[in-house]
Structure 1
Amino acid sequence: MLSIGEFSKICEVSTKTLRYYAEIGLIQPEEINPENGYRYYSINQLKKMLFINRLKSYQFSLEEIKAILELEEDQAEEELCSVLNRKRREIDDKLSTLKYTLKQMTHDISNLEKGIPIMSYFDQIDVQLVEIQPLNILYIRKMMSKDDYAAGYGMYFNNLYEKISTGRLTILGAPMTIYHSPDYNPAGNDTEFAIPIKEAVKGTRDFSGGLCAKTILNGPYSELTSVYAKLREWVEDEGYELVYSPYEIYATDPKQGAAPEDMVTEVYFPVKKK
């Protein structure tokens, strides 16, 4: 048997962390001395602790690791392969985003060295006034938490595409997201995922057209805040007001996994004159 200190030293995990892991049911001591409360781990638990460390190094959360450890033995390897592939895709996405960030930072440094203000790009965002035709959309609407947004939209659009395939429905446009919440709430935001289709079937609704302020983002979704800020500025300066929920149309489909710099997103603000 190994004391908690010995176990901690071998696995390079603090005793405080080991106590927390025991508290949440991740890995329990093999024995606890009832007289003094000393904790002991078996040699066989070293492999489990190293497995936990490896999953942590792969950016799995403790909740995800606990779920993996609780898998039935007959499905553990297949499920582990699946979750590792999913995590690898997430890390690839993060790496692509970081590469774009480095490229953008290099561009900003170059501009600053030339005397060009770092925020000069904001004034170059082009806003147009367009008339949008009504649509029939197949949709999923749910409250999205901060973690849901971080996980991405792929699952929701995949569900819609599955319904389209199963029902042999006709796609008429690119996927879109409509944001119904009046403000940002980390606890949950009212978000609708939709794809325009020809057929009016269960799960579809009418989407009103009308006058919109529109701009196009060529780049990663992280830059959308600048686009939204520019649209709000334009709406105010031009004497308009927002009448319906803003929405995004993805000219590059989110499920296709395009590189950040290749993404094209159209953003629309439904407006009317004040």
Structure 2
Amino acid sequence: MLSIGEFSKICEVSAKTLRYYDEIGLIHPDEINADNGYRYYSISQLKKMLFINRLKSYQFSLEEIKAILELEEDQSGEKLYSALSRKRREIEQQIKALDYTLKQMSNDISNLEKGIPMMSRLDTIEVQLVETRPMNLLFIRLMMSSDDYAKGYGKYFSGLYTKIATEKLTLLGTPMTIFHSPEYNPAGNDTEFAIPIKEAVQGTRALPGGLCARSVLKGSYSELTSVYAKLREWVENEGYKLVESPYEVYVTDPNQVTVSEDLVTKVYFPVQKSI
């Protein structure tokens, strides 16, 4: 048996943390002395603790680790494989995001060295006034938190495409997202995922056409806030007002591009002339 101190030293986990892990049911001491309360761990528990440490290094939360530990032995291999694969995809996305941030930061530093203002990018965003046609949308509308957006895009668009294929509907355009909330709320926003189709069936609605201020973003979705700011500025300066919820149309499939610079997104602000 190992004292909590020995166990802590070998696994490089503090005694305080081990006591917390015991409280939340992650790993319990193999034995607790009834007289003095000293905690002891068995040699066999070293493997479990090292496994926990490995999962933590892979950025699994304690809640996720506990769920993995509770898997039945005959299922743990398959489900652990799935959990690791999912976490790897998440980390890959984080790496891509950090890589883009580093490139953006390097570009800002380079521009500042040349005397170019950091937010000069806004001046290069073009806005056009266009007339859009009415569309028939197959849609799903729900409240989405900011953390759910990335996952939700794939999940809900996939469901819409499945319905299109199953019911042999006619696709007329690329996916789009309509943002109905009057203000941003990290806890949840009224979001509509939609795909234009020909047939008017259950689960579809009409999107009226009309005058729109439009801008095209070629690059990372993280730049969309700049596009929105530019569009709102243009609407104000040109004497228009926003009359419907803004929406984004995804010209390229993010799963089909290798670098974020190849993404193409159109942003529409339905407008009318102010009186």
TM normalised by structure 2 equals 0.91
SS in 1 for 2:265: strand
Cα 1:131–1:76 change in 2 (3 A) is: same
Q: Deviations over 1:75-98 (max 9, x none)?
A: 221122222222222222222222
8 Å Cα contact 1:154-1:254 kept in structure 2: no
The count of residues paired between Structure 1 and Structure 2 equals 274
State how far apart, in whole Å, the 2-side matches of 1:172 and 1:54 are: 48
How far has the Cα of 1:146 moved from its partner?
3.0
Seq. identity, %: 75
State how far apart, in whole Å, the 1-side matches of 2:203 and 2:5 are: 58
Unaligned runs of 5+ in 2: none
State how far apart, in whole Å, the 2-side matches of 1:35 and 1:130 are: 81
How far has the Cα of 1:126 moved from its partner?
0.7
SS in 1 for 2:99: helix
Matching of residue 226 in structure 1 with residue 239 in structure 2: no
> 1:107 is matched with which residue?
107
> 1:200 is matched with which residue?
200
> 2:83 is matched with which residue?
83
Alignment of 1:14-29 (within 5 A): 14-29=14-29
> 2:98 is matched with which residue?
98
> 2:249 is matched with which residue?
249
How far has the Cα of 1:62 moved from its partner?
2.2
Unaligned runs of 5+ in 1: none
8 Å Cα contact 2:257-2:263 kept in structure 1: no
State how far apart, in whole Å, the 2-side matches of 1:24 and 1:257 are: 42
Matching of residue 69 in structure 1 with residue 69 in structure 2: yes
> 2:170 is matched with which residue?
170
Matching of residue 189 in structure 1 with residue 189 in structure 2: yes
Cα 1:198–1:57 change in 2 (3 A) is: same
8 Å Cα contact 1:140-1:194 kept in structure 2: yes
Cα 1:16–1:199 change in 2 (3 A) is: farther
How far has the Cα of 1:202 moved from its partner?
2.0
Backbone CA RMSD of aligned residues: 1.9
State how far apart, in whole Å, the 2-side matches of 1:137 and 1:224 are: 23
Whichever residue aligns with residue 211 of structure 1, its letter is L
8 Å Cα contact 2:169-2:197 kept in structure 1: yes
SS in 1 for 2:215: strand
8 Å Cα contact 2:174-2:195 kept in structure 1: yes
> 1:159 is matched with which residue?
159
Between 1:138-147 and 1:115-124, the stretch displaced more is: 138-147
How far has the Cα of 1:258 moved from its partner?
4.1
Cα 1:20–1:257 change in 2 (3 A) is: farther
How far has the Cα of 1:177 moved from its partner?
1.0
8 Å Cα contact 1:144-1:190 kept in structure 2: yes
8 Å Cα contact 1:170-1:197 kept in structure 2: yes
Alignment of 1:24-39 (within 5 A): 24-39=24-39
8 Å Cα contact 1:181-1:189 kept in structure 2: yes
State how far apart, in whole Å, the 1-side matches of 2:208 and 2:62 are: 44
Cα 1:208–1:31 change in 2 (3 A) is: farther
Whichever residue aligns with residue 270 of structure 1, its letter is P
Between 1:167-176 and 1:30-39, the stretch displaced more is: 30-39
8 Å Cα contact 2:241-2:271 kept in structure 1: yes
8 Å Cα contact 1:130-1:211 kept in structure 2: yes
Cα 1:230–1:244 change in 2 (3 A) is: same
How far has the Cα of 1:226 moved from its partner?
0.9
TM normalised by structure 1 equals 0.92
How far has the Cα of 1:248 moved from its partner?
0.8
Cα 1:150–1:117 change in 2 (3 A) is: same
